[in-house]
Structure 1
Amino acid sequence: MNDLKPRAIRLLARREHSRAELARKLSPYGSPEEVDIVLTELQDTNLLSDARFAQSYLRSHGERLGAARLRQTLRTKGVDEELIAASLREADLPDEMARARAIWARKFAAPPADAREWARQARFLQSRGFGTELIRKVLKESAE
């Protein structure tokens, strides 16, 4: 128990963590009850905040990823669904279409010449978390 709090603070000093993520990282060093006590103490002193983690994650990854990918990653990090939705609404991100265009333009110099290239570019955008309808629009615009 004496080692958990300093370890948690060292982890938080490097970057923001969600409660679930920090609990997973601390679990080898203490019992679940001890970890929970330390995490609650950190939350009470506002050193640990899922909302702050979500905002930080969106700031650093929002420009490069689509909303679906951002939402899924935050979900896997243990952030509450309502908090994810609120964070995405409040985030100062360009709209989804502008992000998709910018990402596509950085990666590809030319519009797809054939079906195979179209599929490759579509898979790339899809892996970044953009929806199929949006991908069609971006690739259709690039071809015109």
Structure 2
Amino acid sequence: MSTVLDNPVAVRRAAMDLLARREHGRVELGRKLRKRGATQELIDAALDRLTEEGLLSEARYLESFVSYRARSGYGPLRIREELTQRGLARADIEQALRDSGIDWHEQLKDTWQRKYAGRLPSDMRERAQQGRFLSYRGYPLDLIGRLLSGSDED
């Protein structure tokens, strides 16, 4: 049975339940509460209070999301796009990517190693296939090119 979100206590409880599972961005959390039937006024008040109390933090959400997606083998271009689609500010996204301390070059090599066992492409078709995979994962084309040409050795 679904709870009716028609008062501040119910909206806050629903928001806290969602935040207990994982970090959320303000826009994403607002969307989920709206889907559950809360009015915009109740959502704004609840989210403002949660932010003041430090329970809702865009910075924490960005840090968590970037770290999780990078560990899953995704590159900065894909992560940036996903965060933009979630309604976060471009400047905040860029700052989170810089502050993450992730070596994207190493991430690329690790993702490629796991998928292709460190086997460089033997022909143009295989090179294109590996390049498409890594590009889809969100890695910059210049890093992909250097890796697949074998000129990436440090």
Equivalent residue runs for 1:1-144 within 5 Å = 1=7, 2-28=9-35, 29-63=37-71, 64-94=73-103, 96-109=104-117, 110-141=119-150
Unaligned runs of 5+ in 2: 1-6
Question: How far is the alpha carbon of 1:74 from its aligned partner?
Answer: 1.3
Equivalent pairs, count: 143
Q: Give deviations 1:21-76, integer Å, cap 9, x for gaps.
A: 00000003211111111111111111101111001112212242211111111111
Contact between 1:111 and 1:142, CA under 8 Å: does it hold in 2? Answer: no
Q: d(CA) in 2 for partners of 1:119 and 1:41?
A: 50
Q: Give deviations 1:68-104, integer Å, cap 9, x for gaps.
A: 111111111222111111111111212x222111110
Letter in 1 for 2:127: W
Report the CA distance shift for 1:143/1:20 in structure 2 as closer, same or farther (over 3 A). closer
Deviating 4+ runs (over 6 angstroms) = none
Contact between 2:146 and 2:152, CA under 8 Å: does it hold in 1? Answer: no
Q: d(CA) in 2 for partners of 1:131 and 1:86?
A: 18
Q: d(CA) in 2 for partners of 1:101 and 1:134?
A: 9
Q: d(CA) in 2 for partners of 1:3 and 1:143?
A: 55
TM-score, length basis structure 1: 0.92
Report the CA distance shift for 1:116/1:14 in structure 2 as closer, same or farther (over 3 A). same
| Identical residues among aligned pairs (%) | 36
Q: d(CA) in 2 for partners of 1:120 and 1:16?
A: 35
Letter in 1 for 2:31: R
Report the CA distance shift for 1:79/1:112 in structure 2 as closer, same or farther (over 3 A). same
Name the SS of the counterpart of 1:53 in structure 2: helix
Unaligned runs of 5+ in 1: none
